[in-house]
Structure 1
């Protein structure tokens, strides 16, 4: 028997176009908190005349609040978006795409948000919100959660909320991170997550990459050794994924190592390890914190990464085979699907 969505696509295709347009307007306004018509029109690639007609309709339905300062979504609009999300995913093929990627990489769950994080900060924020939902569902009492750095994980931290304080939980950095932008350091992110959830946190004040002598010396320090032991016992790891060359430049890796990474076919970077197209580790940077063997033993591993430019990198880390959940965006998911097509 045909689904209602399939019937609508055949008999009322224009209705689905209008529904998608209005859904995207409401979603963009919600992600922006407050936004002007001109900015909204530009972000949706829509003329102001068309947008005015749609926002006037949504205001009349009491889904948008509009005044001289701009527009924001109403409580009724937020509830409608929540109710529409699964329908929207089914209507535009995201549910099918989630299931295809999940099966191909043997994951427990894939969550795809619409848009492209490379092109829209609002999509990156939505990626963070979806990551919050996955993390909140995974957390139990007295958990240790290890978190990597990065702009996407910072979005998760800034939106994380819980119904009851997690007093027995600990957020810890997955590894050292001094040298990165302060806002995106794992230490900053775990502090924010803990404060927003009523949990506790520990910091690891060591550089991201260490020489062998410095590593040996640091690991003899009782305080460092103690926090590293806690990190390596984490039940949940939540991490980002980066393009290998981009991450190497950002971390000021010396030219000889960059050349070696290229020669080894490094395509992706995550938790201090570099992966080739097949998901094999081709290079690791000596760092205090999580090791690859710890990731393999971790009960719940959640990857959050998006943007068309990261499609190949995400696929490479998924082939490594030790993630349980992937949270990504539509642009990256389509790139991953294209890679899957080439393999099949």
Structure 2
């Protein structure tokens, strides 16, 4: 209560004189409208400031944890992909538009598109035949029907009176350069020779071996096995009617080492699918592929002067793989991790049978 001597107003609590416990009773002055407005304004500013502090804290917290939170990074990556999805779809559809392209060689209306010849990807019919005569393994697309359509290398586009039409042509297998003729002639003609099937990582190609004819002495040359090997091909049989590229065999070896359960039939189906995508056709024999591959690996080991031998007297998970140089009688054991890497690939395959047939299998055991 206020004192009678003119002192300041004080707040006092009055506790009743009673034995029962009770809370103190406070008495307040009522604020004027001006003071009430000022108080509300200050309180509003304080709340806004607290809200800004809380918002900045919440926005900074995920950035702090993004470096260590895998789930948060995956979520943000999914969100970014989702945001960019419409733009990616628009760009993908735009790439399928044919438009009115021109040949980069003669600037005539283009009808063939080859993405492997970037940046010069558009060709007219004549320039396509001229350019891809030495590049028959390129995947080409024809646009004469208003959309992109894959065509094999044995097809070419010819412009006639009634428009464009597709004709068949013979494609020659790319090989090493032919040796000089003994007559020292310089006029040669390269003709399609014996048909040959070439299987690459992009599938099957039906081609012809080159037949070079000297116009001076009429001497004919066709590549033999040495020329095919130097060109990067490996025969599927002794007749060399089917060839595999070394890149294909090396890729198959890498797949068998990384994934030993990957079957040859699945790999053959993969190659057939890629053949179909390229506008070509034809089957690929998985058994022939594996037999040729094992023969290639065997000769590769021979050229390295080494043969890998398996000792059947020891458990499979021990250091039972032996390294025998062809010229010596010494044996060196592989590390256990290397043995486990190679063992699933060779177990149950024709590799060990081939070694037995060639008298290269010897049941040596590590001493």
Normalising by the smaller structure, the TM-score range is: under 0.3
TM-score (normalised: structure 2): 0.23
TM-score (normalised: structure 1): 0.24
Larger RCO: 1 or 2 (CA < 8 Å, sep 6+) = 1
Structure (1/2) with the larger helix percentage: 1
